[in-house]
Amino acid sequence: MASRDSTPTGFRQRFMSGETLVGTFVKTPATHPIEILGSLGFEFVVIDEEHAPWDRMAIDAALLAARASGTAGIVRVAEPTPAKILAVLDDGATGVLVPHVSSAAKAQEIVKACRYRGGRRGFSNTTRAGDFGAVGVWPHVDAQDAAVTFIAMIEDPEALDEIDAIVGTEGLDGVFIGRGDLTVALGAPAMDAPEIMSACETIIAAAKKVNKPVAMMVANADDANRFHAMGATTFIVASDQGFLRLAASKAYADISAVGAKSA
C-alpha cells in the first residue's frame, strides 16, 4: 500500500519507464471533473493554471480530489517561480508541467525549485505533501524527491537550438511538445505542417538519446498512434470543457432532430 506521502499512482516511475499514459487538461476550477475523470481510469489530470481561472484554494481542493480519485494531479503552472512551484508541491501535486522552457538554464532553475537534495525547494513537512507533519523530515525529503515529476514544455523556436542541453538537464523527467505555440511562433499553417512535424522529430530524437519520455497533446487515437510510432508515450487529449462541449453538442443535435424526423 502506498504511503500517504506519495502519489497513489506512482506516476513518475510509470512516466519515466515509457508506459503509455493518458490524461487531460482540467480547465474548470472545481473538483467534480477530476473525480469523474479519475473514476474513468485517466492516469493523470493537468490542472491548467496557465490558461484557466485557477487560484490557490481551488488548486488545493483539486489536488485533494485527484488523490481521492486515484489519479495523478499535475499542475501546469502559470509562471515557473520557486514560490509558485513550492505552493503546488506542498499542496500535494504529483508534479509540474512548466510552459516555455526555452533553455537549459531555465530547466536547471526549475529543477532546483522542485528538489530538496541538490535544489532549493523550501522545506515544510506540515503540508498535505508531508501528511501534515506525520512524515519525518528526511523521509519526507526522500519521498518527495522520488515522486515529484518535472515536465518541461518545449514550445519556443529557440528551444530547438538548445534541445539537447535541455533534455539532458539532470532532474528534468521528460518533455511535452507544445505544438500549438510552435505553430504560432513559426507561422506554420497547421499543427501537422512539415516544419512542425520536423520540430517534433527533433525533440523526440533528442529525448530518446537520453532516455527521457515525451508527452504530446493529441486529437484522437489516430493522432496518438502516429506520435507513439515516433516515440511519444504520454498523451493529453482534450480537456474537461472540451469533452463537455463535444458530448453536449452531439446530444443536442441528436435530440433536437427528433421532431424534424417525425414531421
Using the structure block, give the residue that is written with the C-alpha cell 539537447.
Answer: 164
Residue 185: strand, helix, or coil? helix
* 46 Cβ contact list (under 8 Å, min separation 6): 23, 24, 25, 26, 74, 75, 76, 97, 236
Burial class of residue 226 in the structure, from the number of CB atoms within 10 Å of its CB (0-12 exposed, 13-18 middle, 19+ buried): middle
Nearest to 165 by CA among 204, 201, 206, 111: 206
Is 51 an annotated catalytic residue?
yes
Residues in Cβ contact with 92 at an 8 Å cutoff, skipping those fewer than 6 apart: 63, 64, 67, 73, 127, 128, 129
Catalytic residue among 32, 51, 100, 140: 51
Residue reference for cell 526522500 = 142
* Cell digits of residue 216: 504530446
For 78, 201, 207, 214, 225, the CA distances from 229, given in Å and listed in that order, are 31, 11, 14, 12, 6
Catalytic residues: 51
